[in-house]
Structures are given as C-alpha cells and as structure tokens.
Amino acid sequence: MSQEQLIQIRDLVKTKLLKLCQLLGAATLGFFQSTGAFAFFTIRSVSHCIRPPFYMSQFIRQFIDIGYYCLPVVGLTALFSGMVLALQSYSGFSRFSAEGAIATVVVLSMTRELGPVMAGLMVAGRIGASIAAELGTMRVTEQIDALTTLSTNPIKYLVVPRIVAGTAMLPALVLLADIIGVFGGFLVSVYRLDFNAANYVDQTWRYLENMDVISGLVKASAFGFIVTLMGCYFGFNSKGGAQGVGAATTNAVVSSSILILISNYLLTGLFFAK
C-alpha cells in the first residue's frame, strides 16, 4: 500500500513539475518573442524614417501636436519645478550659509535633470497615451489594414511622422522648459527669499557650461524617441476591442516612463565626468 501511495505521489510531483516547466518555458518564449517583435518594429520604423516617400501633412500635424500642444503642460511643470527647487535648496543650503549657490543649483538641476525628465514624463502621459489610443483604435477598426490596401505603408504614414516629431520637438520643448524653470527659481528667490535680482541672474550664468544644456537636450531627444516609439508600438499591436486599446495605452505610458528613468541614468552616466 505504501508503495502504491509513493508511486501516486511521485506521479503527482512529476505532473506538477512538468506543468511548472511548461509555464516557465512559455513565459521565456513569450519574452523573447515580444523582445524580438519590438526590436523588429524599431528597426523597421527607423529604416523607414530615411526612405521616401514622406507624408508632409502628417509631419506637420505631429510637429504641432507634440511641439505646440504640449507647451502649456510642460511649461507649467517646469515653472513649478523651478520654484520648488529654489525653496527646497534654500531650506537645505541656509543651514550652512550657502544661500549664494541656489541660483547655480536651480539652473544646473533644471538643465541637466529636471527639464528633460519632467518634460519626458509629461509628454509620455500626454502624447504617448494619445498615440497608443489613436493607433490602437485604428488597428481594431481595421483602418491600418485599410491603409495597406490603399497602397500606403502604415509605418511610413503613421509611425515615422510621430517618431521624427517626438525626437525633434522634445529638445525644443525642454529648452523652453529650462528657461521657464530658471525663471520660476528666479521669481521665488527674488520675491520670496529677497535675493538681489541682478546677483541672481549673474550667479545663474556664472557656472553654467554649454555641456549642461546640451546633455539635457540630448536626453530630451532620446526621451522623445522612446515615448513616441512605445506609443506607436503598443498602439500598432493592440488587439481586441476597447479593452485592448485601454491596455495598449497603459502599457505605452508605463513602459515609456520606466524606460525614460532607466535611460536617464544611463545617459547621465555617459555624460558624467569627474
């Protein structure tokens, strides 16, 4: 009897283990499959960026959508970030009488870090989501297939203009965000903390190097590429109906936000010089 029980238990463990292996295998295969699909999509999109024909009206629409319509939200974020930055660094720096460094701290933090990251995240929420939702709806209502039957490559018509506009417009947005953010710090320092205005402006310029601004703009460009690419990828591959489009939107925003933060560290490391 005990022998029988043992065999039963052994068989049970065997089937359970097999199931576990199957699950693991399926998950691993799925992971590589989606990584491959994503890499293929990226290569295809980028290669189409440099091959004509180009759809000018689409480019213009996307440039306006990303460059112009994101301006209020990015500007507002930058303004308040700069203001908070001035207040917070004051409460820290005043403890060892280093208030004079606030202008430098504000401008460096804005240009090197907060400008690109804040703008990237805001654009991920605004543009990444709208791209994923728009392309996702076009996919589930067969509009993307319709493009193909109308002799128009959907990657060229839908994806390329968005990626190019994102990569090109984010640096412009961030440059404005830098200026607005520094201005926010200036407002707080001068009107709340009673700094001398001329001194503050002078301090802002004194330690600022070209590389601070440029590294921020390069980051911005990378973030713009990430946001639009993720939006397009998830939208393009959305399945099912309303639920599929919803999932695509969430995935686009979440994954582009995470990728922004990770690539932010990598790019900072790249530009970092001791």
Partner 1 sequence: MTNTVPKIELKNVRKAFGGKKVLNGVDVSVEKGQSLVIIGGSGTGKSVTLKCILGILEADSGSIKIDGNETRTLQGRKRDVLLDEFGMLFQGAALFDSLPVWKNVSFKLMQARRMPAKEAKDIAVHKLSQVGLGADVADLFPAELSGGMQKRVSLARAIAADPKIIFFDEPTTGLDPIMADVINDLIVKCVHTLGATAVSITHDMASARKIADRIAMIYQGQIIWNGKKEDIDHSGNEYVDQFINGRAEGPIQMQVLKH
How far is residue 202 from each of residues 87, 106, 171, 195, measured CA to CA in Å?
Answer: 19, 13, 25, 12
Query: Quick one: which segment of 107-115, 136-144, 180-188, 208-216 binds partner 1 (CB under 8 A)?
Result: 136-144
Positive or negative: CA dihedral 262, 265, 266, 267: positive
Calculate ∠ Cα 66-71-75, nearest 5°: 140
Closer Cβ to partner 1, 15 or 148, answer by number? 148
- Candidate residues 81, 110, 135, 157; the one interacting with partner 1 per rule CB under 8 A: 157
To the nearest whole angstrom, how small is the minimum distance from the Cβ of residue 262 to partner 1? 31
How far is residue 46 from each of residues 50, 112, 135, 264, measured CA to CA in Å?
Answer: 7, 27, 18, 21
To the nearest whole angstrom, how small is the minimum distance from the Cβ of residue 44 to partner 1? 11
Closer Cβ to partner 1, 126 or 139, answer by number? 139
Which residues contact residue 55 at a Cβ distance below 8 angstroms, ignoring those fewer than 6 apart? 156, 157, 160, 161
Closer Cβ to partner 1, 145 or 202, answer by number? 145
Closer Cβ to partner 1, 62 or 257, answer by number? 62
Which residues contact residue 51 at a Cβ distance below 8 angstroms, ignoring those fewer than 6 apart? 156
Closer Cβ to partner 1, 8 or 141, answer by number? 141
User: What part of residues 202-221 is at the interface with partner 1 (CB under 8 A)?
Assistant: none
To the nearest whole angstrom, how small is the minimum distance from the Cβ of residue 30 to partner 1? 11
To the nearest whole angstrom, how small is the minimum distance from the Cβ of residue 150 to partner 1? 4
Closer Cβ to partner 1, 65 or 178, answer by number? 65
Closer Cβ to partner 1, 42 or 153, answer by number? 153
Shortest CA distance to 256 belongs to which of 135, 124, 162? 124
Binding mask 137-156 for partner 1 (x = CB under 8 A): -x--xxx-xx-xxxxxx---
- The whole-angstrom separation of Cα 152 and Cα 217 is 33
User: What part of residues 80-109 is at the interface with partner 1 (CB under 8 A)?
Assistant: none
To the nearest whole angstrom, how small is the minimum distance from the Cβ of residue 36 to partner 1? 15
Binding mask 38-67 for partner 1 (x = CB under 8 A): -----------------x------------
To the nearest whole angstrom, how small is the minimum distance from the Cβ of residue 170 to partner 1? 23
In SS3 terms, 217-254 reads as HHHHHHHHHHHHHHHHHHHHCCCCCHHHHHHHHHHHHH
Contact 166, 228 (CB under 8 A): yes
**Long-range CB contacts for residues 11-17, cutoff 8 Å, separation at least 24:** none
Residues of the shown chain interacting with partner 1 in the complex, contacts defined by CB under 8 A: 55, 138, 141-143, 145-146, 148-153, 157
